[in-house]
Chain A
Amino acid sequence: MTSFEWGMFVLNLIIALTYAAILWVMVQQRRLMDRQLETMQAQLREAERTRMAAYRPILRVEAPLASGLPYLDFYQVRNIGVGAALSVLFFTHEFDASTTSVSGRIEPIGAAEFSQEFPITTRALLHPALTITYEDVFGNRFWTLYDIITQTQTFGEGEPPHLRR
């Protein structure tokens, strides 16, 4: 191999190493940016959760009142959260959501306020349950599931999974 060829070989080697070094630096920069992006997304999620918590309504079902009419009770919910509950809907259904007997709408409920009374009839339901869905001021959706037999309450965010079709 002549000295010219050696020179070309070394030059190509230097160019290849330079490109490899540049590539390595770019990959490291990309990894660093990905980590920064993840951190920023986590901070954003935390900020959204904090904002949601500051305005979150939570509706708890109160003890029913017998109406005196056959099989008809009046229920009421109380907003034990810190924000107003808007677009409040209620559904009386089988616990497994196979049958719905009554659905309806009630007025928005401010923090610490009781709702108006609404009618519930559980006749023909083997295991009756009451689901309330509602929104906060930003449109985030929440739900409360009340098991009428065991009188237990479950609270959740988003669409109620037991009522999804």
Chain B
Amino acid sequence: MAIALERSVVVNSKPIPIEELATLAGQTWSPDPDLNFEVLKQWIENGFQVTHIFWLTRYGPAYGGPGIYFLLKHPDGREAATIVVPGKKVAEFIRCHSEEWKVAGVTVELADVSMRKIAQGRE
């Protein structure tokens, strides 16, 4: 016997400056820092450019902790996305590219993610 749950995701996002993103990435502890950073670097080496960045407050790739969601676009129109875990390498990467991203108009948002679960009864 199990209780079925009606679940939904609630995301409240607000724009933040890139500098704040770099600070958050450098100061946030994670059990698996910089996870998926190699994937992000690979996309960028393949010619993709960052278009949007979201700081996910939770439900990231490392044990549900925070994550940084990168949306990328290639000049030929292809799109890609990945989620990295904050860490020193990621923070340094953001600092290095912050000016370039400002010029390119990359939007950075803080996305507060929460799950709403409503018990539906017994199955």
Residue ranges of A at the interface with B (Cβ–Cβ < 8 Å): 65-72, 74, 76, 100-107, 112, 114, 116-119, 121, 123-124
Number of interface residues of B (CB under 8 A): 35
In the A-B complex, the 5 residue pairs with the smallest Cβ-Cβ separation, listed nearest first, are A104-B61, A124-B80, A123-B81, A121-B81, A116-B64
Is there contact, CB below 8 Å, between A71 and B81?
A: yes
Is there contact, CB below 8 Å, between A74 and B52?
A: no
Task: Point out the residue from A66, A114, A119 that lies within 8 Å of B67, measured CB to CB.
Answer: A119
Is there contact, CB below 8 Å, between A107 and B63?
A: yes
List the B side residues contacting A116 at CB < 8 Å.
59, 63-64
Asked whether A65 and B63 contact (CB < 8 A) given A70-B52, A101-B80, A117-B115, the answer is no
| Interchain pairs with CB closer than 8 A, number | 92
A-B contact pairs, 6 of them (CB 8 A): A69-B13, A69-B111, A101-B80, A102-B83, A104-B32, A124-B43
Interface residue? B119 (CB, 8 A): no
Is the contact region of chain B dominated by helix, strand, or loop, or is it mixed? strand
B19 to chain A, nearest CB (A): 22
Is there contact, CB below 8 Å, between B61 and A119?
A: yes
Is there contact, CB below 8 Å, between A119 and B56?
A: yes
A94 to chain B, nearest CB (A): 12
Instruction: Tell me the bound Cα distance from A31 to B120 in angstroms.
Output: 64
Instruction: Tell me the bound Cα distance from A21 to B2 in angstroms.
Output: 70
Interface residue? B62 (CB, 8 A): yes
Is there contact, CB below 8 Å, between A123 and B80?
A: yes
List the B side residues contacting A101 at CB < 8 Å.
39, 80-82
